[in-house]
Amino acid sequence: MREAAFIKNNKARWQLFEAVLDKKEEINPDKLADLYVEITDDLSYAKTFYPQSNTEIYLNAIASKAHQKIYKTKKESKNRLVTFFKKEFPLEFYQYQKQLLIAFGVFAFFAIVGMYSAATDGDFVRLILGDGYVNMTLENIEKGDPMAVYKEQGEMGMFIGITLNNIRVAMYAFVLGMLFSVGTLYIMMQNGIMLGSFLYFFYDKNLLWESSRTIWIHGTIEISVIIIAGAAGLVLGNGLLFPKTYTRLASFMKSVKAGLKIMVSTIPFFIVAGFLEGFVTRHTEMSDTLALIIIGVSLFSIIYYYGYYPIKIHRLNEIEQNQLNLKK
């Protein structure tokens, strides 16, 4: 890449970095650290391809300035956790919504495949869900309580067990992104087929509404957050596949950090999903209205926090940056 093209491609980011460094108030040290990694990568690139150039001198100057500021301001805010969920994570997640849509699309496609396969092959449901689960559910249907499986364990034990299991599945979806995203897509496929088979099984028994109003009480958040973990896995995989101007190792480390932030954001939702499955779903006698309210609130929370809110925070941040540029 010619030096002029290199400058043109990265100039806006460098100017943003300088603007951050010139602010008199303290800034989020993690955000500054992210910018610092990007600048040092650019500096390494410039040293390799444009040695002794003005570009190298300029980048070296602002990198040195950043290094000093990082160690001067590296103090944890008392509201660090609040800041993470309220601004830091949504602002960063804005750039990964494409991965979220891909994870959702793959999951939804294979859910349809699961339903179709269950409809055309009588043994498919047993193959996917297992004979033990299918036989137990058939017995519960005969007893007049098809959702009895959610009442068999104690509330606290079920809450803890389900929460840990969901986090385990999500971590698989994330970590397997290291297999160049293929592993993550496999987890999305596997869980999509399982959900589709599960839904068709109850549809075939004329219990689709009764099963849906029950399982989606916890499943709305549970399934959504597994898909979000899939997005984190795709972020991880893309860091290996598409390093751009970074070295592959630097790109991978950057994507690991971004993916872990996404995973951290899901923890409260997994806890809520586990609580609902352990303490609420078992009450199959609740009214349809109450069940629909819980499902609706859960769906709104997911769409708002991972869909609308990052866009809102991104726009507010752009306004702040424009105001900063005008002051300069």
**Confidence label for 282 from pLDDT (cuts 50, 70 and 90):** very high
pTM for the model stands at 0.77
CA–CA separation, 180 and 97 (whole Å): 18
CA–CA separation, 310 and 90 (whole Å): 4
* Range 61-66 average pLDDT: 77
CA–CA separation, 20 and 299 (whole Å): 36
Q: For residue 247, what is the DSSP state?
A: -
pLDDT over threshold 70, residue 77:
no
Q: Hey, what are 138's tokens?
A: 């058939």
pLDDT tens per residue, range 115-155: 999 999 989 999 999 999 999 999 999 999 999 989 888 89
- DSSP character string of 68-83: HHHHHH----TTHHHH
pLDDT tens per residue, range 174-227: 999 999 999 999 999 999 999 999 999 999 999 999 999 999 999 999 999 999
CA–CA separation, 230 and 232 (whole Å): 5
pLDDT over threshold 90, residue 3:
no
Secondary element (H or E) of residue 253: helix 248-275
Amino acid at position 193, single letter: I
Mean pLDDT is lowest, of 17-26, 109-118, 197-206, for 17-26
CB 192 within 8 A of CB 105: no
* Range 87-107 average pLDDT: 95
Q: Hey, what are 308's tokens?
A: 């609308």
Q: Phi first, then psi: give them for residue 60, nearest 5 degrees.
A: -65, -35
Residue found by looking up tokens 């199959």 in the block: 284
